[in-house]
Structure 1
Amino acid sequence: MRVLVTGGAGYIGSHTCVELLSAGHEVIIVDNLCNSKEMVLDRIKKITNKDIRFYKIDITDRDELEKVFISEKIDVVIHFAGLKAVGESVAIPLKYYYNNLTGTLILCELMQKYKVKNLVFSSSATVYGDPISVPISEEFSLSCTNPYGRTKLMIEEILRDLYISDNTWNIAILRYFNPIGAHISGIIGEDPNGIPNNLVPYIAQVAVGKLKVLNVYGNDYDTVDGTGVRDYIHVVDLAKGHLKALDKLVAEHVGVREYNLGTGSGYSVLQVVKAFERACGKEIPYKIVDRRPGDIAACYAKTDRAKNELGWEAEKGLDEMCQDTWRWQSLNPDGYNA
């Protein structure tokens, strides 16, 4: 199949493109490179020995995006493109609402115009807000504690309304928990701009000497050690979940269906720090600072639906996630800027 991947040069997108190419699909990437580097495209090719087509386009630019639909015969879209930092979304909410919502609306309008009705959407566990209990199932009520999460929830509602208006659409909504790790080759991985917003790349940059100390945001949560608990999933497992969702859409008409992609287990910040220390063989210095606005105490998935309906479940454990992250970071201490 010919798969359009928006945000395909990003962290999750690039790993998904590797899995798509390895499975024999043709890949067309659209990315504005605001949080990614063009170098990743050559590295995807190096891993897979396959060609990809790349368009440096912001999906809020309707005219440029339409040219892609005109020139490429697209079968399915995997939609990653969007701003994604919780803390930043609290500071600059209008930018998040404009970028994430406008881009998705334009994409869906062009998909409708060119009769491309199969869509895999990159959502997030943030749509569950501060859940009343864990593990979190897809049937939980939805709410959000930050603007980033609200953009994901609004897009989910838009997609459900779109299907109601035209039930020829076929949409898989994938709610990610916390992707970490890197491809086993060590040549693609997470390369955030500036100081990382997410825990594990922050730890990795401390371990490699780019940052002096890890800030741990709060140690007074109602958790095993007072630090926040999250469901960390290897990015390659996550990428394979997209292929399973794609296969599901092609095999049958699902309408709109939501799937949690996680491991079903939660680890605290300090537990992850210890696992990373085992991976890199050195101590990770950290300090406790105030909680971040919008953060919650614990969040991990119930994954039965993905296992039963997609035939997917995470395979890699926390130690392997940290080992693969450390391999990427130690081989690429300055990320793609090396």
Structure 2
Amino acid sequence: MSSYLLVTGGAGYIGSHTLVELIAAGYQPVVLDNLSNGSRDALRRVEELTGTSIPLIQGDIRTPGLVETVLAIYRRDKRPIECVLHLAGVKAVGESVSDPLKYFDNNVAGTVALLMAMRAGGVQRLVFSSSATVYGVPRFLPFTEQHPLAPTNPYGRTKLFVEQILQDVCAADASFSVVTLRYFNPIGAHPSGMIGENPRDTPNNLFPYITQVAVGQQPFLKVFGVDYPTEDGTGVRDYLHVMDLAVGHVRAVDYASSHTGFIAINLGTGKGTSVMELVQTFERVSGQAIPVRIEPRRPGDVDKVWADASLAREVLRWRTTLGVESMCQDGWRWQQRNPQGYGVTAPAPAS
């Protein structure tokens, strides 16, 4: 019988793509999402892609009794939730600086509420969506999991605090299992073009801003800093395809089912790509010119970041399979077909 999973934040960008891979692997996900950053349309499209009905509970993990009730219903129906994939949270670095309490409430207090509900419901497996922002300014590269943890903004600190809470929970209960995944920079979309990144407002991240410029939603791309000590002067990041990231979640769920204790694992390609390299690759793949306006550096931005992903290869048997060109091709296909995001969809281009 397939295992049931509770996926918090499952209607969002990473969540919707992960649902596709979870279902392909034989898992039966149940989504809990307050839809602040997620979309019912995304879930409907995942159902269409997979031919599988996905239960959606619209609600917030901080609502007293909600998660306990969900776990109890599935346990009563002899479909017990065996693992929680925790993707719910807020994630804009800039907003975390201007409104840190929102981030500590959503990300830290929300996770504590979830853990209390899991304990009450007898669920002892968790995969947590963390971030490479826990590392802060690089002392050495690539980042290994042993790099000192010194985040430079409230968002990164919320991820670090949650990781520390999870370590303490595992230390207190030897039967508890946690895999925390430290993502680098996921971009791209499902190759069908049916699901992708759907920012509610002006994008906070580079890639959706590029695609919105390409379809005329934004007039130009702001590039923050061209005086970094890199080959072309722009910042270097480790971009990975969201579908590779989705597979990483499946492998983490597999691992949590047969191991106990806490483990933190990087998910990245192990390769750095500069801002201008990404822009030029997108232009070549899409045939669209991306006008650029140079802006001063943003406070807190670092020059170079990329992952050492060897632990993921060793422990999860996971490695990336899709390069930057595929990320650009798939992200552009999504944006072409969905210039307004979820809602009005353009017809697929003739093949």
TM-score range for the pair, normalised by the shorter chain length: over 0.9
Corresponding residue of 1:116: 123
- Cα deviation digits, residues 10-38 of structure 1 (max 9, x gap): 00000001111111211100001101211
Distance in 2 between residues matched to 1:254 and 1:227, nearest whole Å: 42
Corresponding residue of 2:240: 233
How far does residue 66 in structure 1 lie from its aligned partner after superposition?
A: 2.2
SS of the equivalent of 2:18 reads helix
Q: 2:30 aligns with which of 6, 28, 33?
A: 28
How far does residue 246 in structure 1 lie from its aligned partner after superposition?
A: 1.0
Q: What are the equivalent positions in structure 2 for 1:181-260 lying under 5 Å apart? A: 181-250=188-257, 252-260=258-266
TM-score normalised by L of structure 1: 0.98
- Cα deviation digits, residues 111-154 of structure 1 (max 9, x gap): 11111001000000000001112111011110101110000000
Distance in 1 between residues matched to 2:160 and 2:230, nearest whole Å: 26
Q: 1:74 aligns with which of 81, 96, 106?
A: 81
Residues matched between the structures, number:
337
How far does residue 65 in structure 1 lie from its aligned partner after superposition?
A: 2.4
Distance in 1 between residues matched to 2:111 and 2:299, nearest whole Å: 26
**Unpaired runs of at least 5, structure 1:** none
Residue type at the aligned position of 1:117: Q
- Cα deviation digits, residues 143-180 of structure 1 (max 9, x gap): 10111000000000000011111111111010000000
Q: 1:293 aligns with which of 299, 313, 330?
A: 299
Q: Say whether the 8 Å CA contact 1:87–1:292 is kept in structure 2.
A: no
SS of the equivalent of 1:277 reads helix
SS of the equivalent of 1:119 reads strand
Corresponding residue of 1:149: 156
SS of the equivalent of 1:161 reads helix
Corresponding residue of 2:55: 53
Q: Say whether the 8 Å CA contact 2:68–2:120 is kept in structure 1.
A: no
- Cα deviation digits, residues 63-120 of structure 1 (max 9, x gap): 2222211112200000000000111111111111111111100000111111100100
RMSD: 0.9
SS of the equivalent of 1:136 reads coil
TM-score normalised by L of structure 2: 0.94
SS of the equivalent of 2:81 reads coil
Q: Say whether the 8 Å CA contact 1:214–1:286 is kept in structure 2.
A: yes
**Unpaired runs of at least 5, structure 2:** 75-79, 345-351
Report which stretch shifted further, 65-74 or 106-115.
Answer: 65-74
Corresponding residue of 1:263: 269
Residue type at the aligned position of 2:305: C
Q: Say whether the 8 Å CA contact 2:175–2:260 is kept in structure 1.
A: no
Residue type at the aligned position of 1:333: P
Distance in 1 between residues matched to 2:329 and 2:66, nearest whole Å: 40
Q: Say whether the 8 Å CA contact 2:108–2:158 is kept in structure 1.
A: yes
Corresponding residue of 2:347: none
Identical amino acids, percent of aligned pairs: 51
How far does residue 223 in structure 1 lie from its aligned partner after superposition?
A: 1.5
Distance in 2 between residues matched to 1:326 and 1:168, nearest whole Å: 44
Distance in 1 between residues matched to 2:284 and 2:262, nearest whole Å: 42
SS of the equivalent of 1:155 reads helix
Q: Say whether the 8 Å CA contact 1:87–1:293 is kept in structure 2.
A: no
Q: Say whether the 8 Å CA contact 1:87–1:294 is kept in structure 2.
A: no
SS of the equivalent of 2:302 reads coil
Consecutive aligned runs of 4 or more in structure 1 exceeding 3 Å deviation = none
Residue type at the aligned position of 2:50: T
Residue type at the aligned position of 1:289: E
How far does residue 337 in structure 1 lie from its aligned partner after superposition?
A: 2.7
How far does residue 292 in structure 1 lie from its aligned partner after superposition?
A: 2.2
